[in-house]
Structure 1
Amino acid sequence: MVLPCLNEEAALPWVLGRMPPGFRPIVVDNGSTDESARVATKFGATVVAEPRPGFGAACHAGLTAATADVVCFMDADASLDPGQLPRVAGPVRAGEADLVLGRRVLGPGSSWPVHARLGNAVLARELRRRTGADLHDLGPMRACGRAALLALELADRRFGYPLEMVLRAGAAGWRIAEVEVDYLARTGRSKVTGTVRGTLRTIGDMRRVMADRAV
């Protein structure tokens, strides 16, 4: 269970405290200036330091540190409930899918700006066209086989990493599925959609990945 982390000391106790049995949390500290690493260690997580900035860099560091046959990814900001990881990992473990994404369902107080939801819908439509998978969300909670994901050799180390994962998986003929998960009120401000700079940076990263994987 890979948790990319940048200054999430306030959210980690809840997230790690709700980790279901059988899921070993790997918190990848991506240059935090708060006590994220100490808190993660206190709550029993394996902590991996990744000094290279970038969401994709943190995800890849966690992937290479993982040893389980099935690896999951999830934001560490408490916007997603780790208790729902089994519904995402289940189809992969059962051999029914190769990659499963959690489709976010808005809960009370959830922080998902309208512009971000619209952008996500446009992106999902393009993913449906390119992969043939019935996707409606580039879900941040996801599960797949560890060895198979390493074999895809994802190159992006920024915010385009989740998108590249789906595009490469689709090109490789993976069975891609989607299940619903609750989207909650996150702790703190989002590094992606919480600022104009973060939003523009993410859009730029994803446009670059789309162009590189043009079909």
Structure 2
Amino acid sequence: MTKIIVIIPAYNEEQSIANVVNDIPKHLIDEVIVVNNNSTDTTAQVAANAGATVLLESRMGYGYACLTGMEYIATNNLHPDIIVFLDGDYSDYPEQITEVIQPILKDNMDLVIGSRNNSQRAKNSMTPQQVFGNWLATFLMKLFFKANFTDLGPFRAIKYNKLLALNMTDKTYGWTVEMQLKAVKHKFNYTEVPVKYRERIGVSKVSGTIKGTIFAGIKILSWIFKYSLK
């Protein structure tokens, strides 16, 4: 039986987090971990009420939250086969976990990215800067590394042993691109699955602010150029 654990970083997602947890196909998933990234609202309580394991990470940053989830898994010797990463804002469709993990189960892929770059993406669900940023990042990844990605989408699945081999280090906005760049460098088998995408509940902490957009862009591009020089 394949053991699958979901990690959901969450900051002030009290309006959406229960929807996310409840829509996860529980018959497939062994544990749902919500990492409360220093929320000032009731995200932690709402997630716990929905049945998730709730962890606290007071250091602000998407990568910090993901690393805290991984630390919990390692400390408790849970030994999953697959880790699924999913956002807590309900922009993704959690029920599509079934589709995202299929290339791992059926085709022995190491990493699967849920790509939002398709007709299933709802109008206005991504800001113009998100669309351009994803295009630029994936274009540069193809130019420098011959990588075949169309998106840096946070909805993704990866074999646990491969995730550990990547030695992930990014603490903030560069988590997704670091994973994809390192997967290419390690010559992992990877693919994309088209996923649906809707307008998130609440305001994005990254693309919803000028500061967040700028810092995310700088971090993503810095990872790409850092690896292009190696």
Query: What range describes the TM-score normalised by the shorter chain of this pair?
Result: over 0.9
How far apart, in 2, do the equivalents of 1:74 and 1:203 lie?
A: 20
Match of 2:28 among 22, 34, 54: 22
Could you say what secondary structure the match of 1:183 adopts? coil
| 1:202 CA drift (Å) | 0.5
State whether structure 2 residue 12 is matched by structure 1 residue 7: yes
Q: Residue 79 of structure 1 contacts residue 110 of structure 1 at CA under 8 Å; is this kept in 2? A: no
Q: Residue 133 of structure 1 contacts residue 176 of structure 1 at CA under 8 Å; is this kept in 2? A: no
Match of 1:103 among 115, 125, 129: 115
How far apart, in 2, do the equivalents of 1:12 and 1:112 lie?
A: 19
How far apart, in 2, do the equivalents of 1:80 and 1:25 lie?
A: 16
Q: Which runs of 5+ in 1 are unaligned?
A: none
| 1:62 CA drift (Å) | 1.2
How far apart, in 2, do the equivalents of 1:172 and 1:107 lie?
A: 30
State whether structure 2 residue 144 is matched by structure 1 residue 144: no
Match of 2:59 among 49, 52, 59: 52
| 1:132 CA drift (Å) | 3.1
2-11 or 19-28, which deviates more: 19-28
Please tell me the residue identity of whatever aligns with 2:106.
A
> When the two structures are superposed, what TM-score results if normalisation uses the length of structure 1?
0.94
Matches within 5 A, 1:89-100: 89-100=101-112
Residue 79 of structure 1: aligned partner: 91
How far apart, in 2, do the equivalents of 1:13 and 1:196 lie?
A: 28
3-12 or 119-128, which deviates more: 119-128
18-27 or 205-214, which deviates more: 205-214
37-46 or 110-119, which deviates more: 110-119
| 1:63 CA drift (Å) | 2.1
How far apart, in 1, do the equivalents of 2:28 and 2:166 lie?
A: 25
| 1:35 CA drift (Å) | 0.4
Identity %: 34
How far apart, in 2, do the equivalents of 1:118 and 1:212 lie?
A: 21
Please tell me the residue identity of whatever aligns with 1:58.
A
> When the two structures are superposed, what TM-score results if normalisation uses the length of structure 2?
0.88
Aligned residues: 215
Matches within 5 A, 1:130-169: 130-169=144-183
Match of 1:65 among 72, 95, 98: 72
State whether structure 2 residue 163 is matched by structure 1 residue 181: no
How far apart, in 1, do the equivalents of 2:102 and 2:197 lie?
A: 19
State whether structure 2 residue 197 is matched by structure 1 residue 208: no
